[in-house]
Amino acid sequence: MPVRPPGERNALRAAGLAGAALVLVAVLAFSVAFGARQLSAGAVWRGVFDDGSAAWTVVREMRLPRTLLGLLAGTALGLAGGVMQALTRNPLADPGLLGINAGASAAVATATAFLGMTSFGGYVWFSLAGAAVVSALVYAVGGGRGATPARLALAGAALNAALYSYVSAVMLLDSDSLEKMRFWTVGSLASAQNATSAAVLPFVAAGLVLSLGLARPLNALALGDDSARALGARPGLVRTAAIVAVTLLCGAATAACGPIVFVGLMVPHLVRALTGPDLRWVLPYCAVLAPVLLLGADVLGRVLGRPGELQAGIVTAVAGGPFFLYFARRARVART
């Protein structure tokens, strides 16, 4: 098979990114149009633009906020997964599998049960702190610069189990916390409000800018520390900035939606099959396609669960479990 020149490859990648953006626009429209309550196309249209229509409350106050939150959270989780996989050189790295979502969840559970915080603006800082502490801890326990994918996965699994046990204990011992967090802990967009999306936006925007700015240095870091220094990158600073980006993205998404797993695992894998390993293309694709996955899961859960709904976190877990087993097996076969 002939090798395409760089200019042609980049043109194809750009065309693919534009196509992915069109798919995202279509999924955004589906998220507004479909839900637990069936509405005609005309009713949805009137619900968006006519505040006197019967569908106004459903469309403008419920579906549009959760669509916007799904866009922001999906972007955050996809970018976090892409950055983590590049930083750890672990193709199975994911904010959920490495315990970062669990750290944010444990911090939110603590703030809710013991400090009485119930609003996003109150406990988002706890979520960010929990994500930051666990990010650093997993990296340190996994071996720091000498970390291997296996050691990182083991460290993440151990912290994941311990932290989710803590969250479960808090919820069982405090009935008020159980009622407040029972849907949040499985990962859901159901409680989305315009105020939540507005509060999430600055964190996701900062994480987005930082992640995209790290694409070239992370490419250099993949060649090894010495090669990265020769190319002008500073490995220590790059790793620190990457952990900050992951903390911002995972902390904000988890505080708003709960711990949604496998989005950050599946999307970077699928993207690399399209673009190759260059993070200058991988990360923008992740930012576009991860919301497609999350919102698609949310719409599917709403349609299949009528008149109720299946939380988006349940749908992504059902889809992501077999995906994770497949890639884990493929990675094992590749090493033998």
Instruction: Give backbone dihedrals phi and psi of 50, rounded to 5 degrees, phi first.
Output: -120, 105
Closest CA to 167 of 251, 119, 110, 117: 110
- pLDDT-derived band at 23 (thresholds 50, 70, 90) equals very high
Q: Residues 225-231: what's their mean pLDDT?
A: 85
pLDDT of residue 321: 75
The CA–CA distances, whole Å, from 1 to 4, 322 equal: 9, 31
114 Cβ contact list (under 8 Å, min separation 6): none
**DSSP assignment letter at 305:** T
**Higher per-residue pLDDT: 253 or 91:** 253
pLDDT of residue 140: 79
pLDDT tens for 145-171 read 666 666 777 888 888 888 988 888 888
CATH code for the structural domain at 82-185+193-259: 1.10.3470.10
CA–CA separation, 69 vs 193, rounded Å?
A: 8
Domains in the chain: boundaries: 82-185+193-259, 262-336
The mean pLDDT value of the chain amounts to: 84
pLDDT tens for 54-88 read 787 888 888 999 999 999 999 999 999 999 889 88
**Higher per-residue pLDDT: 210 or 180:** 210
Which of 151-155, 218-222, 236-240, 282-286 has the lowest average pLDDT? 151-155
pLDDT tens for 109-138 read 888 888 877 777 777 889 889 988 888 888
